[in-house]
A and B are shown apart, each in its own frame.
Chain A
C-alpha cells in the first residue's frame, strides 16, 4: 500500500498548495487588481513590506508549510517521471534516495532564512 499512500499524499498536498500558493501569488503579483478592491498591498517586494511579513509568525508559518508541501509534491512528481524512464529496480532505488537527499537539502536551505528572520 506504500505507493497508494505516496500518491494520495501527492493529491492532498496538491490541493493544499493550490490554496497556499494561490494566496502567495495573489499577494505578490496581482496588487494592481487588489487595489481595485480597496486592499492596499503597497509594493510587496520592497524591503519594508518584506521585513514586516517576515516578523509575523503567521507568514513564516505559511511559507514553511508551503515549502514542505511543494517540496514533497514536486520531488515525488519528479521521481515518478524518472522512474517511468529507468526500467531496472536497482537504479530506481538509487534515484529515490538521491531525490530524498535533494529534498532534505532544499528544505534546510529554504527554512533557514525565514526562521532566522523571525527570531532576529
Chain B
C-alpha cells in the first residue's frame, strides 16, 4: 500500500468485560490502513469511530513509555512501534500480553511486575548515606565503566519479556527477566555498593536460577536491551561471589573540587562599537 491508497485490514481484537465476568471473546473491526499507520493508530481509529468501549493503554506513541505492549499476530510488540504494513497480513489478531492478568480488554495487570522490581532495591545504595542525602558533587564514572551496564538502563518496563519467557509461563513466583536484568544493572553500576544486599534477594528458590537461557526475552525486547545477557552476567557474579573469586572493586568516589583556579576571564563588552 502507498501513502495515498488504503487497504481494509481486519482487526480481531480480544475483548473481556470484567463486570460481565464471562470468558474473553473476539470482536472484528474493519480499519482502513495506509502506509505509515501503526497498530496503535488502528486501535485509536476503532475507539474513535467504531467502538468507544475498547480499552487499551497508550501514552507516548513513540516506544518510550512502555504502555502499549500487546500480542499482535502471535508475537509481543509495542503497538505504537509496529507498522501495519510490516506484518504482511490482512487480518491482525490482537490480544493482551500473556503471563500477566487481564483487567479489561487489552489491559494487562502490571502490578506483580512492579512489586518484583521494587523488591530487588532498584536504586543506588551507598554506605556513605550523608553524601546521598546532601550531595556535594558528582560521582566519578569512566566511560568504560558506564558501558558495562548502559545497555540495561534503557528498560521501559513494558512487560514484553515476561510474555516471552517460558519460565514465567508456568512459574508464578518467578522474578521476571525485567527484575533480574535491573538487579544486574544496579549491581554492575560502579557507583553502587549494594551488591551484598541484592544478591541474596535473587538467589532464592524461584529466582535467577530458574532462567534456562531460552533467550526469548532478548529476542522480543522492543528496546534492544538483551535481558538474557544481563541475567547470565548476574549468574556469573553470583558464582564468583559464592566461590570467593572476583576482584572487589571500590565504588566510585565523589569528584574532588578543582584545586587550581584559572584566572578569571574579563567580562565581555556588549556595547556596539561604531555607528
Give residues in A with beta carbon < 8 Å to B. 1-8, 80, 83-85, 87, 89, 92
Contacts and interface: CB of A to CB of B under 8 A. Distances in A.
B131 interface: no
Given A3-B204, A3-B205, A92-B205, A84 B210 contact: yes
B172 A4 contact: no
Contacts of A84: 167, 170-171, 174, 206, 210
Contacts of A7: 209
Nearest to A10: B209
A84 B168 CA distance: 9
28 contacts: A1-B238, A1-B241, A2-B203, A3-B203, A3-B205, A3-B209, A4-B209, A4-B239, A4-B242, A6-B209, A7-B209, A8-B239, A8-B242, A8-B243, A80-B209, A80-B210, A83-B171, A83-B205, A83-B210, A84-B167, A84-B170, A84-B171, A84-B174, A84-B210, A85-B170, A87-B172, A89-B205, A92-B205
Interface of B: 167, 170-174, 200, 203-207, 209-210, 238-239, 241-243
A79 to B, nearest CB: 10
Contacts of B170: 84-85
A3 B205 CA distance: 7
A117 B265 CA distance: 95
Contacts of B206: 83-84
Given A8-B242, A80-B210, A84-B210, A1 B171 contact: no
Nearest to B243: A8
